[in-house]
Structure 1
Amino acid sequence: MEVITRKQYRRKVGLIRKLIRLTLVLGILLMGSVVGLLTYAKMQGPPPLQVQQTTVFYGSDDSVIGQRIVGQNRHWIPLDEINPAIIEATIAIEDRKFYRHYGFDFIRIGSAVLKNIQQGTKAQGASTITQQYARNLFLSHAKTWQRKWNEAIYALRLEMNYSKDEILEGYLNTIYYGHGAYGIEAAANYYFQKSASELDIAEASMLVGIPKGPLYYSPIRNYDRAKSRQSQVLNAMATEGYITAQEADDFYRAPLDLDHDTSLSSLVTGPYFQDVVYQILTDEYGLDPQIIEAGGLQVYTTLDPDLQEKAEKWVEDELKATELQTALVAIDPRNGDVKAMVGGRNYLESQFNRATQARRAPGSAMKPFLYYAALEHGFTPATPLTSEETTFVYDDGRETYAPSNFNNQYANDFMTLAKAIALSDNIYAMKTHFFLGFDQLTTTAKRLGIESTLTEIPSLALGTKRVGVLEITNSYSAFANGGKKVEPRFITKVVDRHGNILIEQEPVVEQILDPNLAYVMTDLMKGMFDLNLSSSHSEVTGRSIIHLVNRPVAGKSGTTASDSWMIGYTPQLLTGVWVGHDQGNLQRGEGQYAKRIWAKFLEDALADKLKLPFPKPANVVAATINPDNGRLATDACPVQHVSYFVAGTEPVEYCQEHINTPESISKAKEEIAEIEEAKKEKLLDRFIKWFSGH
């Protein structure tokens, strides 16, 4: 039996008391540290949750046409849009106590610390979902004690300021799934071409296993290894009671269709169009490029993916055996929506957008502006002028200008405006230009939307000054829609990551032309497809493509030494095509490609659309004329053409050049007498109406 002396007893009791006091002090210090740490975390406030997100571009049918990806491809989606199987699999394999802890699983942490001490490494981790989310947002993945400390602070801040669902949502939208895909939505898009809401349990368990080692467990790089990891995930789900053991085995054996996207960062549809959209967002709306690149915006555009595909198809089909370059723009003339855009043969080889950045000489495609000005100043489709080799003198006799027709072919006789525009006669155009004054063409062109610099010179009427393809194509809209100027529209709205509408663009439409004259101008431009307007010295300029067009169309072609153009429209669609070389002149036979691309695209684009006539204003009337002299045609006239006139401007005299028989003369006199009688009746009606006060 051991005997303890009083002195020893007192010493032992004192030691116990000191130990208790030390424990109490350490406890108080520990509690104070915890309180201080929590107070510090709370005082820091909620950490910002801004992360890079992929900006998505949508077509007019709301399909995805492209993405802006800078480093990380990410699409943020709410937790309630994520398949529950993904959430269950993630919690089961990553953090089964997620909804029961406050950011840390101390049992797992303690176990990991012991293993790390035994192994002499820091390889064993025990991070919760909250800690991983903090690391994804604010920290690196280096295995250092400093990073662990910072991770703990951020995890506390997350837990103290955000709900569990908000943390889980953030985690699933930021975790890396390999191959440039950040977040579950981008991963589902990449590996299965699906949304995260559409994944089944087999697919979900495969994806949830990847973040442990995005390259190591990638089913694209090593399918067997990924399947082994999938088995772990399914077994964890079974252990937690989300599925049964038999279901885990069934889902493991279920086949997976890894239809992965090999070009996440590629521009899918209309890359030249998307470049214009990006420029509009930065230059016109002042959006920060960083917001566009990584702000998770949803940009809704006017591009029609189907029309874009057809435009690219016909460009490639027609030009595949050539070295020619091209630009094509298709616009809805009713509202200005740009439906398709081709800026060149190959975007990967050249990002120079010839539809918006190039300036080319339009040639005779400039003439509709001249002739509209002429209609405003008293011309009609029946106005006759002589077409013959002419030298024009101007600037008070100091300057001369001697234009020529194609192949130096001239009528050497009268022709009407209707025939002149159909044949693209340069002499008629130049006489009109001189008659009106050079300023009328520049004024009219600017009114219709031409912003490029125009010079008041004779050759302007023949399109020698350079303009843009989009610019001149859109300027034809007012002819197609009854006289309304429309602004080209590329964007309908832009929505930020939170669903707020940042930009909403309505069509900009302004009545600038007389609807009656706009219709007459359209009728004049239908003439290039009317073989009745051909002459012995020249064919109508649309002859080579008449067989390709099977609906009412109007348009104008243009050709210079280096440029070939075709701009034309129906009531629903306006299209302009330019073909040429970036440097150098056109070679023999290259001048027809623009017309062929235009015609084939137009017919294909409108294949399932109604064949609509151009709406005729009530104050426009039809008259059958002789297109050479502009007089009313008789049965004796070898060529007849139906033209439209603003009521009261139609011709009243009959052509008598071809009346050689007594019968023809008698018939012509009878018709003339009928017209005169009708005039008298109209005059009498107006007098009666005036007299009666109506």
Structure 2
Amino acid sequence: MYHSAHARNRKRFFFFWLTRISAVFFGSLLLFICAIFLAAKLAGPMDIPDARPALFYDSRGKLIGKWETKSQQWVAINHMAPSIKLATLAIEDRRFFQHHGFDLRRIAGSAIADLRSFSKAEGASTITMQYAKNLFLTNDKTWMRKATEVFYTIRLEMNESKKDILEGYLNTIYYGHGAYGIEAAAKTYFNKDADDLTLAESSMLAGIPNGPSIYSPLLNYNEAKKRQRVVLDTMVASGFLTKSRADAAYREPLALAHKEKTVQRTAPYFQDAVRQELTGRLHLTAKELESGGLKVYTTLDAESQQAAEYWVQKTIPANSKIQTALVAIDPKTGGVVAMVGGRNYQSSTFNRAVSAKRAPGSAFKPFLYYAALRNGFTPATQLKSTPTVFTFDDGKKTYTPNNFGGYYADKPITMEQALALSDNIFAVKTHLAIGMDKLVNAAREAGITSPLAPVPSLALGSEPVSVLEMARGYATLANEGERVQPDLITKVTDQAGHVLYEWSPQKKQVMNKDASFVLSQMMTGIFDKRLDGYTKVTGAQVSERLTHKIAAKTGSTPTDSWMSGFTPDLVATVWVGYDKGETISTFPETGYAKDIWSHFMESALDGMPENQFKPPEGVISVSMDPKTGLLAGNGCPGRPTYFVKGTQPTAYCSETTENTVKPKKAENKGFFYRLFHWFR
């Protein structure tokens, strides 16, 4: 009996305190909710903020452009076609006039659907919630944002009529192509006022906000039509339309507006690339960029950009259909200082500097010769330049490259001269001698990210890459092996000046410092006539124009012409060719890349020291006869040539020295010596 009474007392005590605690909890919750509603009511109606598109500035803080948007044109709800109101209510919030900002039935249904699919497949946002979010909030995935969204939703419902909320929503929702609000959308897609929209047009427009880049009929007409079908079917299910009326609207032809002509602006291709960075890498939303008052500071150097655009227009005749692209980078930071993505942005907005990939030809050889320097070669290494049939893949395949114009030395030449003359036989011999994976690895280290196949033709630049990639790869060489990431944006601030993003340039030592410097000095040889041999050095056409010491390499294929080069402070890469891969056959066309590049470099380097290269401690300069690879002596002309210390030649040549390499000491007759001897 005692134990039974004690148990009953404990149970009564437990329920007594449980009831009290529950009453306090629910009472506090009720007071908290009442306080929220009271605060929302006292806060009054919400002001509609003006659109403040993001502004773009160059590296000196000069305004160069803004995030493009169409002017928001507010129209009263009674000046909107009834069909757009019904279509929007059906697809977004069919119980809009029955709930008070939160559709509990829809929330419950969404939660059940999500649990069944184990994902967030269903949305439960009402028009009021979306309106509050569109006006005042970012898309940050935080509890504070969700709480603020709830408060603003309550505030709207407490102080605005349903009619005013729907009007505000339709005037602020984003429809793509910079169009905010139904009036701007009607003009953008159909070139008419919102009051004149037909049911077919309204059902098309109502489906766009769910995914403007997916459902825009100007971009993806088929997807837009599928979405229109969904909207019409939802209108039927909501009781707004008959099935026959919906089917007739779906079949009705749509007279879409023509795309507007682009507006001329500063560095348009560069600004487009900035836009991609803002929404892609930095994950800023279109709403933030359209109306958040952001300031975007970029790496663009206005003078360099002006020079790039000037020399493109000056070099290529106006009636030519050939295209071009240019990227200039500050190798110390990776900042893109100039970008040209095509000859005329008005006629083609396609950015060939970042989006197109073409075979770089011999402009790819510096990565090969870096790999060679790291695997037993020196600038003095000699191989025979003569027509050769190469076998690979265990003798199953053959490859027969040709030198440009069919010219060959028919005798051994040094690697320094082979690079200056762009000898293809020497390049492929080198590629096979060191192992084809060595070139792939070197290019990857430098920053080339496009697919690269370890095949013999890779030595001659057969795999397509972008202009930006090539500029990045050359920047690694300019930095003596330190790789940088090309960047366009230095800082982003909000309207209050708070920093949302700030650039912190990163460098990583990925290639050997000494070998990179030796290679850079070999690359200056394309302008040095002392390296002329069976043909002229490849930079002879523009060598007289240059007043600065520049490391560079030309490249050509039947359809592409390249020129890329650098000083320690500037890298520039130029591509010229046809979009559809037509053959470049005439002499002026084959020289456009060299002319644009050389003029641009001279303009951009104006006022800078003529020689900015400073040798690291691990290299040594000797006067070498470029033809024999021996030290210059009596009767042998010399050219200052850098070597990694310990690899420089020790024997002298004379005017009686034969232009061949004599066998070295026995200890040097290793694998590479035997392989070189076999190739000759």
Normalised by the length of structure 1, the TM-score is: 0.61
Q: Whole-Å Cα distance in 2 between the matches of residues 304 and 656 of structure 1?
A: 51
Picking from 564, 567, 570, the partner of 1:570 is: 567
Cα 1:265–1:530 shift into 2, 3 Å? closer
Deviations 1:229-286 (A, max 9, x none): xxxxxxxxxxxxxxxxxxxxxxxxxxxxxxxxxx999463111111111111111121
Q: Whole-Å Cα distance in 2 between the matches of residues 428 and 68 of structure 1?
A: 51
Cα 1:264–1:415 shift into 2, 3 Å? closer
Query: 3-state DSSP class of the match of 2:378?
Result: coil
1:621 counterpart residue number: 620
Cα 1:40–1:401 shift into 2, 3 Å? closer
Q: Whole-Å Cα distance in 1 between the matches of residues 605 and 641 of structure 2?
A: 26
**In the alignment, is the contact (CA less than 8 A) between 1:65 and 1:267 conserved in 2?**
no
Q: Whole-Å Cα distance in 1 between the matches of residues 566 and 265 of structure 2?
A: 27
1:466 Cα deviation from its structure 2 partner: 0.4
Code of the aligned partner of 1:561: P
Cα 1:45–1:567 shift into 2, 3 Å? same
2:496 counterpart residue number: 498
Deviations 1:300-337 (A, max 9, x none): 00001111111000000001243210000010111111
**In the alignment, is the contact (CA less than 8 A) between 2:634 and 2:654 conserved in 1?**
no
2:113 counterpart residue number: none
**In the alignment, is the contact (CA less than 8 A) between 1:555 and 1:568 conserved in 2?**
yes
1:657 Cα deviation from its structure 2 partner: 5.5
Q: How does 1:221-370 map to 2 (within 5 A)?
A: 266=263, 268-321=265-318, 322-370=320-368
Picking from 453, 456, 459, the partner of 2:457 is: 459
Q: Whole-Å Cα distance in 2 between the matches of residues 523 and 393 of structure 1?
A: 32
Q: Whole-Å Cα distance in 2 between the matches of residues 599 and 490 of structure 1?
A: 24
Q: Whole-Å Cα distance in 1 between the matches of residues 60 and 624 of structure 2?
A: 46
Q: Determine if the alignment matches structure 1 residue 653 to structure 2 residue 638.
A: no
**In the alignment, is the contact (CA less than 8 A) between 1:482 and 1:515 conserved in 2?**
yes
1:631 counterpart residue number: 630
2:591 counterpart residue number: 592
Code of the aligned partner of 1:348: Q
Q: Whole-Å Cα distance in 2 between the matches of residues 485 and 450 of structure 1?
A: 11
Picking from 447, 450, 454, the partner of 2:448 is: 450
Q: Whole-Å Cα distance in 1 between the matches of residues 654 and 541 of structure 2?
A: 33
**In the alignment, is the contact (CA less than 8 A) between 1:330 and 1:576 conserved in 2?**
yes
1:57 counterpart residue number: 56
1:554 counterpart residue number: 551
Code of the aligned partner of 1:442: V
**In the alignment, is the contact (CA less than 8 A) between 1:302 and 1:489 conserved in 2?**
yes
Query: 3-state DSSP class of the match of 1:611?
Result: coil
Code of the aligned partner of 1:53: R
Code of the aligned partner of 1:600: H
**In the alignment, is the contact (CA less than 8 A) between 1:372 and 1:521 conserved in 2?**
yes
Query: 3-state DSSP class of the match of 2:511?
Result: coil
1:379 counterpart residue number: 377
Query: 3-state DSSP class of the match of 2:500?
Result: strand
**In the alignment, is the contact (CA less than 8 A) between 1:67 and 1:267 conserved in 2?**
no
Q: Whole-Å Cα distance in 1 between the matches of residues 373 and 333 of structure 2?
A: 25
Larger radius of gyration: 1
Q: Determine if the alignment matches structure 1 residue 603 to structure 2 residue 610.
A: no
Q: Whole-Å Cα distance in 2 between the matches of residues 506 and 477 of structure 1?
A: 17
Q: Whole-Å Cα distance in 2 between the matches of residues 457 and 647 of structure 1?
A: 32
Q: Whole-Å Cα distance in 2 between the matches of residues 623 and 279 of structure 1?
A: 48
Q: Whole-Å Cα distance in 2 between the matches of residues 73 and 547 of structure 1?
A: 56
Deviations 1:634-675 (A, max 9, x none): 1212x4222101111100011246269xxxxxxxxxxxxxxx
Deviations 1:81-127 (A, max 9, x none): xxxxxxxxxxxxxxxxxxxxxxxxxxxxxxxxxxxxxxxxxxxxxxx
Provide structure 1 residue ranges, at least 5 long, that are not aligned to the other structure. 1-37, 75-136, 139-152, 159-179, 181-262, 661-694
**In the alignment, is the contact (CA less than 8 A) between 1:356 and 1:469 conserved in 2?**
yes
Cα 1:42–1:573 shift into 2, 3 Å? same
Cα 1:301–1:510 shift into 2, 3 Å? same
**In the alignment, is the contact (CA less than 8 A) between 1:69 and 1:265 conserved in 2?**
no
Query: 3-state DSSP class of the match of 2:60?
Result: coil
**In the alignment, is the contact (CA less than 8 A) between 2:480 and 2:516 conserved in 1?**
yes
**In the alignment, is the contact (CA less than 8 A) between 1:68 and 1:294 conserved in 2?**
no
**In the alignment, is the contact (CA less than 8 A) between 1:493 and 1:503 conserved in 2?**
yes
Q: Whole-Å Cα distance in 1 between the matches of residues 496 and 262 of structure 2?
A: 23
Deviations 1:56-104 (A, max 9, x none): 0000010011112312399xxxxxxxxxxxxxxxxxxxxxxxxxxxxxx
Q: How does 1:41-440 map to 2 (within 5 A)?
A: 42-45=41-44, 47=46, 50-72=49-71, 266=263, 268-321=265-318, 322-440=320-438
1:349 Cα deviation from its structure 2 partner: 0.7
Q: Whole-Å Cα distance in 2 between the matches of residues 517 and 325 of structure 1?
A: 35
| CA root-mean-square deviation | 2.7
1:157 Cα deviation from its structure 2 partner: 8.5
Q: Whole-Å Cα distance in 2 between the matches of residues 585 and 295 of structure 1?
A: 48
Q: Whole-Å Cα distance in 2 between the matches of residues 549 and 313 of structure 1?
A: 18
**In the alignment, is the contact (CA less than 8 A) between 1:57 and 1:298 conserved in 2?**
yes
Q: Whole-Å Cα distance in 1 between the matches of residues 501 and 415 of structure 2?
A: 46
Code of the aligned partner of 1:465: E
Deviations 1:522-556 (A, max 9, x none): 00100001100001x20000000011100111100
Query: 3-state DSSP class of the match of 1:575?
Result: strand
Q: Which moved more, 1:586-595 or 1:649-658?
A: 649-658
**In the alignment, is the contact (CA less than 8 A) between 1:67 and 1:265 conserved in 2?**
no
2:485 counterpart residue number: 487
Query: 3-state DSSP class of the match of 1:565?
Result: strand
Query: 3-state DSSP class of the match of 2:280?
Result: helix
Q: Whole-Å Cα distance in 2 between the matches of residues 47 and 73 of structure 1?
A: 18
1:538 counterpart residue number: 535
1:43 Cα deviation from its structure 2 partner: 2.9
1:517 Cα deviation from its structure 2 partner: 0.9
Cα 1:73–1:479 shift into 2, 3 Å? farther
Cα 1:532–1:51 shift into 2, 3 Å? same
Q: Whole-Å Cα distance in 2 between the matches of residues 45 and 499 of structure 1?
A: 28
Q: Whole-Å Cα distance in 2 between the matches of residues 494 and 40 of structure 1?
A: 34
Deviations 1:143-174 (A, max 9, x none): xxxxxxxxxx99x989xxxxxxxxxxxxxxxx
**In the alignment, is the contact (CA less than 8 A) between 2:562 and 2:575 conserved in 1?**
yes
Q: Whole-Å Cα distance in 2 between the matches of residues 295 and 372 of structure 1?
A: 48
Cα 1:603–1:541 shift into 2, 3 Å? same
Code of the aligned partner of 1:602: M
Query: 3-state DSSP class of the match of 1:607?
Result: coil
Query: 3-state DSSP class of the match of 2:628?
Result: coil
**In the alignment, is the contact (CA less than 8 A) between 1:54 and 1:72 conserved in 2?**
no
How many pairs are equivalent? 443
1:421 Cα deviation from its structure 2 partner: 0.2
Code of the aligned partner of 2:529: L
Picking from 511, 520, 538, the partner of 1:513 is: 511
Cα 1:327–1:387 shift into 2, 3 Å? same
Cα 1:265–1:368 shift into 2, 3 Å? closer
Cα 1:157–1:645 shift into 2, 3 Å? same
Normalised by the length of structure 2, the TM-score is: 0.62
Q: Whole-Å Cα distance in 2 between the matches of residues 274 and 329 of structure 1?
A: 13
Q: Whole-Å Cα distance in 2 between the matches of residues 616 and 419 of structure 1?
A: 21
Q: Whole-Å Cα distance in 2 between the matches of residues 455 and 39 of structure 1?
A: 69
Code of the aligned partner of 1:47: M
Query: 3-state DSSP class of the match of 1:558?
Result: strand
Q: Whole-Å Cα distance in 2 between the matches of residues 295 and 42 of structure 1?
A: 26
Q: Whole-Å Cα distance in 2 between the matches of residues 350 and 626 of structure 1?
A: 50
**In the alignment, is the contact (CA less than 8 A) between 1:473 and 1:575 conserved in 2?**
yes
Picking from 582, 593, 601, the partner of 2:579 is: 582
